[in-house]
Amino acid sequence: MANDFVKTFVQMCNYLQEPCHVARFQNFCGVKGTFPVKTSKPDSGQPEQDSTGLRKRFQQSSDISVGNGATGDAAGAQVNGMQGDNAAAPGAASDPDTARAKPLRRNSLTGDVGQEFLIHNKFLFYLFTFGTELGNEMFFIIFFPFVFWNIDALVSRRLIVVWAWNLFVGQSTKDMVRWSRPASPPVVKVEVFYNSEYSMPSTHAMTGTAIPFCLFMLTYGRWQYPFLFGFGVALSWSVLVCVSRVYMGMHSILEVITGFLYSLLILAFFHPILDKIDSFYMMGHYAPLVIIVSHALGTGAGAALATYVNYQLGLLMDPPLSSLPLTFPSISTSLVFLSLLRFLIGVAVLLVTRMIMKAVTIPFLCRLFGLPSDDVRQARQHMKVELPYRYIVYSVVGFSCVCVVPLLFRILNLA
């Protein structure tokens, strides 16, 4: 019985890991690849690549297989590993409902911009682009400071702890499992990824699940709002991020499900002890040493050190327990203006800090390790430069967010 269960479970995992399911979902959502065609000449039997680089409609016998393991027909062309239509032809971009696109961002280490693809459903493209941004580091670099400066510093501090540990555990698991990204073709790479990064589990799915549900658990009862509203927002956020990773061609279905469940396990472990962790960061005699030694993520380390400094200097602004539950203030012009002003000034400080630290750190590390510093992109391809660079730069950014910027607000009378 146990052996049958294990065998069935392994078979199901292998099935969910297959890239053809990702390709089918992309095709269903209107994403079409422009992979080069390879046909066989009757006289030579050698493949010939179409010079335009786009898949065109061509006649093919029913015994010729396409990229996802399916079989073609006399009228079908392979697009994104699926059977295509006239929209896959070079003239398809003239269709008002079709748009040509490049991957959302290029690889910052290699400069790879990816393969062009066709979008037949613009609404889903923008929806899942928004969804994948909800799990990106850049979103959290904006989201956490906004919550810290304008809404609830305590909630933001604890969210950063959960976010940092999810990323650390998820990335460590990736490096141990070492599963490659879904094969392309048949999968269309709507987003370019680092060649050196593995894919199991999806850290987007992890942070995109842990953060909204942790936000809900930290704020429900602390702030006054309906339970169903908070839970619905958290669930919608999580589902949108998870599904967007399949749409982007970045992860298989199995990797997304694993990331979702993995994050819930990590959240179940950390949520009950978040209060003790936060208290230790503020009052522990050896907190700075423990933070530096234990944190593998620069942003988390910087924010934790700033929490300690804020408490020692009496700069923490947490509301007293007697004031709970908190109520949202009425929206006014002055409130919106001050919130936006704090946010813009704070982000400007963080961007300048990041720019200065980047300009200083990379040449320093290159000199330390005896590497040329004239080509920043080439230097960052060395892990002995890239890893400490990220840790140092984002430690300072995290410290600035939690300590320096709030202190600046006090000086400018914007706190």
Q: How far apart are CA 373 and CA 362, in angstroms?
A: 7
Q: How far apart are CA 372 and CA 378, in angstroms?
A: 9
List all residues 6 or more positions away from 414 whose beta carbon is below 8 Å from its beta carbon.
Answer: 338, 341, 342, 345
Output the DSSP codes for 343-371.
HHHHHHHHHHHHHHHHHHHHHHHHHHHT-
Catalytic site residue 21? no
Q: How far apart are CA 234 and CA 236, in angstroms?
A: 6
Catalytic site residue 204? yes
One of 21, 204, 285, 382 is an active-site residue; which one?
Answer: 204
Output the DSSP codes for 29-40.
TTEEE-PPPEEE
CA angle 38, 43, 46 (to 5 degrees): 30
One of 21, 120, 251, 295 is an active-site residue; which one?
Answer: 251
- Tokens 């953060």 correspond to what residue? 211
Q: How far apart are CA 26 and CA 250, in angstroms?
A: 11
Q: How far apart are CA 218 and CA 184, in angstroms?
A: 40
Task: Enter the tokens of residue 325.
Answer: 């539950």
Q: How far apart are CA 280 and CA 274, in angstroms?
A: 10
Q: How far apart are CA 82 and CA 67, in angstroms?
A: 7
Q: How far apart are CA 48 and CA 115, in angstroms?
A: 19
Enumerate the active-site residues. 204, 251
